[in-house]
Amino acid sequence: MAYKRSYWIGFDLGGTKMLAAIFNDRFEIVARKRRRIKLGQAATPGVAQMIDIIGEVMERAQIEPEEIAGAGVAVPGPVDPRRGIVIEMPNLDWRELALGELLGAELKCPVHILNDVDAGTYGEYRFGAGRGGRCVLGVFPGTGIGGGCVYEGNLLQGSSRTCMEIGHIRVMPNGPLCGCGGRGCLEAVASRLAISQAVAAAAYRGEAPTILREVGTNIREIRSKVLAQAATAGDKAVVEILEDAARWLGIGVAAAINLVDPDVIVLGGGLVEALPELFLRGVRESAESHAMRSFQGTFRIAVAELGDDASAKGAAAWAHHREVVAK
């Protein structure tokens, strides 16, 4: 029998886990599978593991290879989307890896590699909080702070590598050191990691009782859920630190507004999604007061709607866009 190629693979390659999903041509999820990656996993077994989990999810969905129209793979680091190359990966020593080619040879379909924040932003533009926007800016605070931008239906992907590095807008001259080697980057003062550092110190000083009781002062344990719990319980220092981070985020967002003039700004990531009101209010007030006057009132800020599936779904839809719409 003749098969119709009407399914799309979306793959979210995290630094510590991977998620494979199959979507039908209405972008409803047909099956998904998640698996952990070993820290430091080398490229060859890592790619084999990716192919393996894709095989499993296809089997689970009872989809044949001949029914797959294409795949999109979201990667948490800089990529060269045109050549399908992973430039580098945090936690894994994958460098200059021709992932698109490797997967394409195995899956026998077109494979599109893109940055995970770009994938998440595209997902929110197509199916989530950014629907209908002409210029959608995605901002995802986590360990770092990622940014993405969809302009007139097209992801901005820069000339050679990942763009919209909103986490590295300098907001505090001579501010704290950043992982990028700079100082006072937005990421160094407003990422979840920067928040956890500050909260750990507050807990140590006895100013964050909920944090101290629940997880202590180890920043690895001070994650989105307990931060939200402490804020809700009224730990004053935690609320202040979060509000401060939201204010810095708004300053970074304002700088991006002056450059790309978005009509919608989508805030995402675990911490924002756990405390939507606090972040919406703080970022909105700060962005409105720091953007050029002429941009005031021209944008709305919304919280991401797709949760954990955003990157996989966005990657699959981007592959569809490149193969079907933009061809």
Among 45, 182, 216, 234, binds a copy of itself (CB under 8 A): 182
How is the chain split among helix, strand and coil, in percent rounded to 5? 45, 20, 35
Here the tokens at position 86 are 């992973």
Crossing angle (nearest 10°) for helices 116-127 and 310-320: 80
164 binds a copy of itself, rule: CB under 8 A: yes
165 binds a copy of itself, rule: CB under 8 A: yes
Cα torsion angle, 28, 34, 39, 45, sign = negative
Residue 32 C-beta: closest distance to a copy of itself, Å: 32
Provide long-range contacts, Cβ within 8 A and 24+ apart, for 226-231: 227/192, 227/195, 227/196, 227/199, 227/271, 227/274, 227/275, 228/271, 228/274, 228/275, 230/199, 231/275, 231/278
259 binds a copy of itself, rule: CB under 8 A: yes
Among 6, 16, 44, 160, binds a copy of itself (CB under 8 A): 160
Q: For a copy of itself, give the closer residue by CB, 156 or 280.
A: 156
Report how many residues bind a copy of itself under the rule CB under 8 A: 42
194 binds a copy of itself, rule: CB under 8 A: no
Query: Segment near a copy of itself (CB under 8 A), from 112-120, 150-158, 227-235, 237-245?
Result: 150-158
Residue 67 C-beta: closest distance to a copy of itself, Å: 31
Among 37, 114, 119, 135, binds a copy of itself (CB under 8 A): 135
Q: For a copy of itself, give the closer residue by CB, 62 or 159.
A: 159
The arrangement of strands across the sheet holding 79-80 comes to 79-80, 85-88, 95-97
DSSP state of 132: T
Burial per residue of 283-294, b for 16 or more beta-carbon CB atoms within 10 angstroms, e otherwise: bbebbbebbeee
Q: For a copy of itself, give the closer residue by CB, 38 or 83.
A: 83
Among 255, 287, 304, 319, binds a copy of itself (CB under 8 A): 255
Here the tokens at position 292 are 């050029």
Q: Write out the residues near a copy of itself by the rule CB under 8 A.
A: 78, 133-135, 147, 151-152, 154, 156-166, 168-170, 172-173, 180-182, 255-256, 258-263, 290, 292-295, 298-299
